[in-house]
């Protein structure tokens, strides 16, 4: 009886594994972790056809990793819960730790962007507390509205050059986007530096920031209980 139970249990676990075996579905989950999107939006971002995006979303929906609702003439998709976004962050970190190919691809991704040493979340928070930096979110406006790092201002990447004059010149600009494997922040820093503006790239995104803050709060509570 126990063997039957375990076989059934791991068969259910395998449903998620099979669903995540597609690189395109992983990309869609990453994008939906940033906020709800329509099929048309996902088509535009990924370059996939409507049919392919719809098919992949259906598979993700059947595995209960995404959910959908209708908004006017559009069907809007979103991740089924924050646990899905947490899983994607864990998958990224595990892959980068275990697979040298991921590390190599990440290095190659940034090799055309000079002086792109990122700052970490801990250092960012210290600088923000001192008022030394301006945090810039260069993701699309709808993703910023879904969730952003407190204190960040929104200037989507496509609008950055039009709004350079609105940025302060006496403070460093720290740009962030969708996380470690998103190039928008690197492109933003390059534009800013070319205009003589001091700028750095935050490697992490909103999801990583949330997890960092949660862990910091847990550690603070543990520290407080020992006193």
Sort strands 74-79 and 37-38 into parallel, antiparallel or unpaired: antiparallel
Give the single-character DSSP code of 111.
T
Is residue 134 situated within a structural domain? Answer: yes
Q: Are 179 and 204 in contact (CB under 8 A)?
A: yes
pLDDT category at 214 given cuts 50, 70, 90 is confident
Is residue 34 situated within a structural domain? Answer: yes
Is residue 117 situated within a structural domain? Answer: yes
Active site residues: 177
Q: Which of 204, 198, 192, 178 is nearest to 122 (CA)?
A: 204
The pair phi, psi for residue 193, each rounded to 5°, is -65, -35
* Boundary (domain end) residue, out of 85, 103, 126: 85
Alpha carbons 155 and 178: distance in angstroms, whole number = 14
**Domain count of the chain?**
2
* Boundary (domain end) residue, out of 68, 85, 102: 85
The pair phi, psi for residue 155, each rounded to 5°, is -140, 100
Domain residues for 56? 2-85
39-46 and 23-33 helices, crossing angle to 10°: 120
The H or E element that residue 193 is part of is helix 184-194
**Predicted confidence (pLDDT) per residue in 122-158, tens digit:** 999 999 999 989 999 999 999 999 999 999 999 999 9
At residue 32, the pLDDT reads 97
At residue 224, the pLDDT reads 63
The H or E element that residue 94 is part of is helix 82-98
**Predicted confidence (pLDDT) per residue in 152-209, tens digit:** 999 999 999 999 999 988 899 999 999 988 989 999 999 999 999 999 999 899 999 9
| CB contact set of 102 (below 8 Å; sequence gap of 6+) | 95, 96
Q: Are 119 and 174 in contact (CB under 8 A)?
A: yes
Percent of the chain with pLDDT over 90: 73
> What is the distance in angstroms between the CA of the first residue and the CA of the last residue of the chain?
49
117 or 205, greater pLDDT: 205
Is residue 96 situated within a structural domain? Answer: no
206-226 and 121-130 helices, crossing angle to 10°: 80
Q: Are 39 and 53 in contact (CB under 8 A)?
A: yes
pTM: 0.86
**Predicted confidence (pLDDT) per residue in 57-94, tens digit:** 999 999 999 999 999 989 999 999 999 999 999 999 99
CATH no. for residue 66? 1.10.10.10
């Amino acid at each position: 009886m126990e063997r039957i139970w375990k076989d059934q249990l791991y068969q259910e676990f395998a449903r998620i594994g099979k669903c995540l075996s597609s690189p395109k579905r992983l990309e869609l989950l990453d994008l939906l972790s940033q906020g709800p999107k329509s099929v048309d939006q996902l088509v535009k971002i990924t370059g996939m056809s409507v049919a392919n995006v719809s098919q992949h979303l259906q598979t993700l929906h059947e595995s209960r990793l995404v959910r959908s609702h209708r908004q006017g003439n559009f069907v809007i998709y979103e991740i089924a819960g924050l646990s899905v976004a947490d899983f994607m962050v864990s998958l990224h970190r595990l892959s980068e730790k275990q697979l040298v190919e991921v590390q190599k691809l990440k290095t190659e991704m940034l090799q055309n962007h000079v002086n792109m040493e990122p700052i970490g979340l801990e250092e960012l928070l210290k600088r923000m507390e001192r008022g030394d930096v301006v945090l810039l979110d260069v993701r699309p406006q709808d993703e910023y509205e879904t969730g952003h790092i407190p204190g960040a201002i929104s200037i989507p990447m496509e609008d950055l050059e039009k709004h350079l004059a609105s940025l302060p010149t006496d403070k460093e600009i720290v740009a962030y986007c969708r996380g470690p494997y998103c190039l928008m922040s690197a492109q933003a820093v390059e534009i800013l530096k070319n205009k003589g503006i001091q700028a750095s790239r935050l490697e992490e995104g909103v999801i990583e920031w949330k997890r960092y803050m949660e862990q910091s709060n847990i550690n603070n509570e543990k520290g407080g209980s020992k006193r």
